[in-house]
Amino acid sequence: MGENKKILVVDDEESIHLLYREELEEDGYQVFSAMNGEDALEIFESNPVDLVILDINMPGMDGIEVLRKLKAKRPSVPVILSTAYSEYKHDLGSWASDDYIVKSSSLDELKTSIKKRLE
C-alpha cells in the first residue's frame, strides 16, 4: 500500500511513536523516528525521506525551526505538522508547511493527508 515510501515521524512522545509506527508500517510505509529536531535533521540528511510528520512543541529546537531547516534542504519533501495545539492552524500559510493536523486518536485524517501528499 505504502509502496515502501519513507516517512519520518518527529515527536517527543514515546507513545506517539509507538502508535504512528505501528499504524504506518501496517499501511506499508517505512518509518523513521526522531525524538527531537537535531535527530530529525540528521536522519533527513542521510535518508531519502519522502514525507515528514512533525510535532511543533518539543524541547530544544521547536517544530517551526525544524520545518524551516527541512524546507531549506529539500523543499519538495512534504511536511505535515501534527500537534496537540489547534490554535496555530490559521497561521499555516506563513509557516509554509504542507498540512496542519490536530492530533487525534483516530489517524484517519492524518492518513488521508499522507496519501494525498505522496500521490
Partner 1 sequence: MSPERSLLEKTKDVLSRLIKINNASVDLRDRLEQIVLLIAGAFEVTFCGFFSLQRRGDSFILEAASDCSHRKADICCLDVEEENLRQSIREKRLLIIADWSNDPRRTYWQKITGYKPRSFLGIPISDENVTYGALVLLHDRPRAWAQEEVGLLDIAGQAVAGALRSADALLSSKERIVETLAHENAGMVRELSTLYKISGHLMTTVSVDEIGKTVIKAITGDEGLGFDRAVICLMDEQEQVLKGVWRGEKGEESSARDVIIPLNKDGGALAQAVQEKTPITINAKSDPVLGKIWFGGLECVDCALVPITAKDKVMGVIVVDNSCNNRAITRENVCVISMLANHTGLALDNARLYTFLDRTNKELVEARGLLAEAEKLAAMGEMASTLAHEIRNPLVSIGGLARRAIKVVNGDNGGKRYLEVIVDEVGRLEKTLNELLDYVQEPEESYVKKDINHIIEECLELMRREFEEGSITIIKDLESIPPIWCDQRQIKHTLFNILLNARQAMPGGGAIQVSSSVEDDEAGGYVTCTIKDTGGGIPEAILHNIFNPFFTTKKGGSGLGLAISYRIVSHHGGKIEVENEPGRGVAFSVKLPMNSAHRGYRVFKPKNRVKKQKIE
Site residues for partner 1, 28-57, by CB under 8 A, read 56-57
Virtual torsion, Cα 56, 111, 16, 48, nearest 10 deg: -70
**Using CB under 8 A, which of 59, 76, 105, 119 touches partner 1?**
105
| Number of other residues whose CB lies within 10 A of the CB of residue 96 | 12
Q: Whose grid coordinates read 540528521? A: 42
Answer yes or no whether residue 112 interacts with partner 1 by CB under 8 A.
no
**Count of alpha carbons within 13 Å of 31, Cβ hemisphere only?**
21
Taking the least distance from each CB to partner 1, the nearer of 8 and 101 is 101
Note the residues at the interface with partner 1 (CB under 8 A): 13, 15-16, 18-19, 22-23, 56-57, 62-65, 67-68, 71-72, 84-88, 90-91, 94-96, 102-107
